[in-house]
Amino acid sequence: MRTDCFRGKDFLTLRDWDKEQVETLLEIAFDLKRRFALGEPHDHLLRAKTLFMIFYNQSLRTRNSFEAGMTQLGGHAHYLDPSKIYTPALEGKEVAYSTERVSDVARVLSRMGHAIAIRCYGDPVDWVYGGAHEMMREFARWSDIPVINMECDKYHPCQALADIMTVKEKFGAFEGIKFVMSWAYSPSVHKPRAVPQSAIIAATLMGCDTVLAHPPEMELDPEIIAECEANARMNNATFTITHDFESAFKDAHVVYPKAWAPTAIFKPPVGEDNAQKAQEIFDKYKSWKMTAEIMETADKEAIYVHCLPADRGWEVTNEVMDRTDVKHGWSSAIYDEAENRLHAQKAIMALVMGGK
């Protein structure tokens, strides 16, 4: 397909991209990974271009993969800590001499660089579900350069692209692949829905037979569930929801257990703004934990994946996480998946910031 259609396009959610466009992103990502492995220079692709990164939340993989990626593409990434600048805020959320309206920040940065990347969820938007994504949309509205979502309260499209890149790398295709996204226990309830929601969007879009497993109180956004159902129909694949943890993984090829917050933690009208109730719900499901015994029920070549950081000992055992480089049998692919963040994001940046 023509790649000039990507230039200047925002990357806020995979819901804004069709299957053919995502396939193009994956092709570019694999090519850039090959070049990186062979030491082939590709620093001409974004030479002298600038990415502004605004992090309202902490980061290891996201920050370093974007910074390293920009360096390898010949550009530069500016790290912007909202507490060290006038914090970008929506109209009505402003504080005198402390914040600056998003519309002003977006237009100023548009004059100085070539893309704006943002991570924001949870406390910075007072756990109002969708508040962070609304702010990113406002950035995109006022920005003349592409805006990239490095994770909000609804979506983590960069992680999802790395997830499906790992699936393609390990299995060579998506058709017939059973992809299980499951809730898992963690002592912390402060976890957004972004990763599971983006994972099931990506898996169903590409044609995996996708299973979503979670306790009844951990339902995801119904709008996203409806889209996943439509994606599955489009691909003649399946999308099912179960509340049984162990049975969900039977014959699974991709095993993705991860905690996310129950609705109770969000502010009304989505939730109840009740952290104590959220914790009580979590603590009912401590048995939702990935173990080697459950992995043995999956496909014999199954992979364990996780966006990281995983809560070792709660979400998953050390035995599962550390079973890497296994020639035959199930294995952990978490470090391959983490590396693929670099290559997937380089593909995003090369296409939306550069072009042909």
**Looking at beta carbons, which pairs linking 64-70 to residues 24 or more positions away fall under 8 Å?**
65/341, 65/342, 65/345, 66/117, 66/150, 66/345, 66/349, 68/342, 69/342, 69/345, 69/346, 69/349, 70/46, 70/349
Give the three-state DSSP class for 306: coil
In this structure, the answer to whether residues 88 and 174 fall within a common structural domain is no
Cα 158 to chain center, whole Å? 5
In this structure, the answer to whether residues 188 and 320 fall within a common structural domain is yes
In this structure, the answer to whether residues 44 and 82 fall within a common structural domain is yes
Distance CA 289, CA 60 (A): 24
Q: Which strands make up the sheet holding 178-182, listed edge to edge?
A: 239-242, 209-213, 178-182, 254-257, 303-304, 331-332
Amino acid at 155: Y
In this structure, the answer to whether residues 305 and 349 fall within a common structural domain is no
Distance CA 161, CA 222 (A): 22
What is the CB neighbour count within 10 angstroms for residue 124? 17
In this structure, the answer to whether residues 313 and 212 fall within a common structural domain is yes
Distance CA 109, CA 197 (A): 30
In this structure, the answer to whether residues 105 and 58 fall within a common structural domain is yes
In this structure, the answer to whether residues 164 and 82 fall within a common structural domain is no
In this structure, the answer to whether residues 252 and 319 fall within a common structural domain is yes
98 Cβ contact list (under 8 Å, min separation 6): 86, 87
Tell me the longest C-alpha to C-alpha distance in the chain: 61
Tokens of 18: 């069709």
In this structure, the answer to whether residues 18 and 105 fall within a common structural domain is yes
Give the burial string for 72-98 (b: 16+ CB within 10 Å, else e).
bbbbebbebebeeeebbbbeeeeeeee
Per-residue pLDDT of the chain (356 residues; tens, 9 = 90+): 667 889 999 999 999 999 999 999 999 999 999 999 999 999 999 999 999 999 999 999 999 999 999 999 999 999 999 999 999 999 999 999 999 999 999 999 999 999 999 999 999 999 999 999 999 999 999 999 999 999 999 999 999 999 999 999 999 999 999 999 999 999 999 999 999 999 999 999 999 999 999 999 999 999 999 999 999 999 999 999 999 999 999 999 999 999 999 999 999 999 999 999 999 999 999 999 999 999 999 999 999 999 999 999 999 999 999 999 888 899 999 999 999 999 999 999 999 999 65
In this structure, the answer to whether residues 125 and 14 fall within a common structural domain is yes
Tokens of 36: 């990186």
> Helix count (H) and strand count (E) of the chain?
12, 12
φ and ψ of 112, to 5 deg: -115, -20
Residue pair 172/206 in contact (Cβ under 8 Å)? The answer is no
299 Cβ contact list (under 8 Å, min separation 6): 178, 251, 252, 253, 330
In this structure, the answer to whether residues 31 and 90 fall within a common structural domain is yes
Q: What angle do CA 171, 291, 189 make, to 5 degrees?
A: 100
Structurally, how many domains does the chain consist of?
A: 2
- The terminus-to-terminus CA distance of the chain in angstroms comes to 12
What is the CB neighbour count within 10 angstroms for residue 215? 17
- DSSP string for residues in 65-133: HHHHHHHHTT-EEEEE-GGGS-EEE-TTS--TTTEEEHHHHHHHHHTT-SEEEEE--SGGGTT-TTHHH
Q: What angle do CA 34, 161, 220 make, to 5 degrees?
A: 165
**Domain at 128, CATH number:** 3.40.50.1370
**The pLDDT value given to residue 1:** 65
Question: Of 342, 271, 288, 332, which Cα lies nearest the Cα of 306?
Answer: 332
In this structure, the answer to whether residues 236 and 149 fall within a common structural domain is no
239 Cβ contact list (under 8 Å, min separation 6): 200, 204, 209, 210, 211, 212, 228, 229, 231, 232
Distance CA 133, CA 140 (A): 11
**The pLDDT value given to residue 3:** 76
Residue 111: domain span: 4-154+341-354
- pTM metric for this prediction: 0.96
**The pLDDT value given to residue 355:** 62
